Amino acid sequence: MTTTLPAGLTLRTATLADLNAVTELQQTCDIADSGEPDTDSEDILADWREEGFDLASASSLLIGSDGRIVGYTDIHPGSLGMIVSPYTQVHPAYRGLGLEQYLLNLSEQRALQYLASPAGASIPRAIRAYGLTEFGNRLLEEEAYQLVKIDWRMEIEFAEPPLAPQWPESISLRPYIRGQEERIAHSIIQEAFSDLAQRTYQPFEDWRAWAVERNDFDPSLLFLVFDNERPIGAVLGFDYGETGGWVRQLAILKPWQGRGIGKQFLRHVFGEFYRRGARRVGLVVDSENPSGATHFYQSVGMHVASEIRLYQKEV
């Protein structure tokens, strides 16, 4: 374990005023690891606003001698254990100094302190962390973390307009009505995802803060699907301009799965992103989804672009 910082580096907690600088760090690391930026400040802010998370006590910043942020980590309480932030990163210029291990161990110490407090009494005694690169995977395995599951990041690129949807009889789609149908979308998503391993119910207020109450939310990209008048599906998309479109959640209630509705739903979303100028669309899917979601997305032309590993350590 790295217990001391190299000369010239200092440590402090983050504040909301650091959001842009932390985002810049993440995007610099994205470019170094995958060739392009892949982090949005609204995603980081949504994590910081989660119920039960205290930025002042749960975050850590590494500061270089020039005052710039060169490392970040935080720890969140979750229903399945304490979660080391997927935004735990070290600037490429400072890698190879043991700082990744230092930040991981620092968040582990904070996790143990939280679990020992009254607030942590009901949380399982486990620490979870994401492996996003080969180096990150090796570090977690060396620190005695066990692989829990693998998610696929899937993508599709368009050289021409995607196929238009062909809806079955009685099935229709429209954008949701803002201020009236958030609970409908939430209910569909939670029910449809209820049998996924390692997933727990997300209360409405938490989902609304994570999905809707953010500056980059576009109400015209939250769609509902109906069988006659009954809502049976929901999809939440985000348009990231040059980076492309992102399908954050897509859900069809179980009685309507396997009937081709999801494929038409996705074609509609692809077409909407294409109309807005996006030529690439991505999403994340559980590789062990019992509904066969990976094969479903492959059937519409998507491919696996990368993997996200979730690890866990019992404490």
Q: Please state, in angstroms and rounded to a whole number, the distance separating the CA atoms of residues 277 and 81.
A: 40
Domain that holds residue 186: 154-306
Average pLDDT over residues 201-207: 90
Do 170 and 70 lie in one domain? The reply is no
Structurally, how many domains does the chain consist of?
A: 2
Do 139 and 21 lie in one domain? The reply is yes
For 105, the 3-state DSSP assignment is helix
Residue 131 lies in a domain: yes
Do 133 and 168 lie in one domain? The reply is no
Residue 312 lies in a domain: no
User: Which of 120, 144, 168 is the C-terminal boundary of a domain?
Assistant: 144
User: Which of 144, 169, 189 is the C-terminal boundary of a domain?
Assistant: 144
Residue 314 lies in a domain: no
Q: Please state, in angstroms and rounded to a whole number, the distance separating the CA atoms of residues 72 and 28.
A: 13
Do 220 and 92 lie in one domain? The reply is no
Q: Please state, in angstroms and rounded to a whole number, the distance separating the CA atoms of residues 133 and 114.
A: 28
Residue 142 binned pLDDT confidence (cut-offs 50, 70, 90): very high
Residue 139 binned pLDDT confidence (cut-offs 50, 70, 90): very high
- Chain mean pLDDT for the chain: 93
In this structure, how many other beta carbons lie within 10 angstroms of the beta carbon of residue 140? 24
pLDDT computed for residue 196 by the predictor:
72
Do 256 and 139 lie in one domain? The reply is no
Taking alpha carbons only, the member of 141, 88, 139 closest to residue 111 is 88
Is the pLDDT reported for residue 100 higher than 90?
yes
C-alpha dihedral, 1 to 82 to 234 to 161, nearest 10°: 0
Residue 265 lies in a domain: yes
Q: What is the DSSP letter of 221?
A: G
Q: Please state, in angstroms and rounded to a whole number, the distance separating the CA atoms of residues 261 and 40.
A: 31
Do 134 and 185 lie in one domain? The reply is no
User: Which of 98, 125, 144 is the C-terminal boundary of a domain?
Assistant: 144
Do 68 and 159 lie in one domain? The reply is no
What's the farthest any 2 CA atoms get from each other in the chain? 68
Q: What is the DSSP letter of 91?
A: -
pTM of the model: 0.88
Q: Please state, in angstroms and rounded to a whole number, the distance separating the CA atoms of residues 244 and 97.
A: 35
CATH of the domain at 258: 3.40.630.30
For 23, the 3-state DSSP assignment is helix
